[in-house]
Amino acid sequence: MIKPFLIILICLPSYLLSDNSDGGFGSIANDRNEPISFSSDTLSFNQETGTSEMKGSVSIVQGGTVLSSDYAEISFNVDTNELARFYASGNVVLTSGNDIARGNEAIYNFIKGELTFLGEVHFSQSGSTVKAEKAVINTETGSASMTGNVQTTLLPTKQEGSGE
């Protein structure tokens, strides 16, 4: 009966945090083989509906990558035990190395390979930032689109020997 829940615990962070093999965001690419830990104030699991809920101080850690939120729900196909969707809300923060992604909500669709951040989205990577109301990232290709009052600040790269 608990088998699908164990599959979620083992597989979720690998799907959610590691599809960027080029290491474009923090240490995600290097973390995919690291141990995974989950914590929350409460955890409930419903085998019949294929859902698991974590409430209060949710934290999913794999290596140097951490996803935290106030609430998280994981859905899986009850017939195949395959993960279908991950939803997090309330103070959603994904950190990996020095890179940070924030939003009011995050949705990962395992079938489409899309990670969507919604509401007051803010990405910070190597000092450069992007702000928007919505960001959709294709975890297979690494392509991303941002919509809703998009603001970008890019820091120039320092050139060796240029005195900067």
pLDDT digits (tens, 9 = 90+) for 124-155: 887 888 999 999 877 667 677 899 999 989 88
Q: How far apart are CA 54 and CA 62, in angstroms?
A: 17
Mean pLDDT score of the chain: 78
What CATH number is given for 3-153 in this structure?
2.60.450.10
139 vs 124: CA distance, rounded Å: 18
Six-digit token string for 52? 């698991």
Max avg pLDDT among 2-6, 12-16, 154-158 = 154-158
In whole angstroms, give the CA distance from residue 91 to residue 106. 10
Look at residue 87 and tell me whether its pLDDT is greater than 80.
Answer: yes
User: Is the distance from CB of 27 to CB of 18 less than 8 angstroms?
Assistant: no
**What pLDDT, on a 0 to 100 scale, did the predictor assign at position 21?**
40
Determine contact, residues 84/96, Cβ cutoff 8 Å.
no
Cα distance between the two ends of the chain = 60
d(CA 61, CA 52): 17
Tokens at residue 163, please? 């005195």
Structure tokens that stand for 71 in this block: 């609430």
Query: pTM, whole model, 2 decimals?
Result: 0.74
Structural domain spans, the chain: 3-153
Residue 67: pLDDT over 60: yes
Residue in the block written with tokens 């020095």: 98
Per-residue pLDDT at 12: 41
- Between residues 37 and 12, which one has the greater pLDDT? 37
Tell me: pLDDT of 17 over 70: no
C-alpha torsion sign, points 98, 102, 107, 109: negative
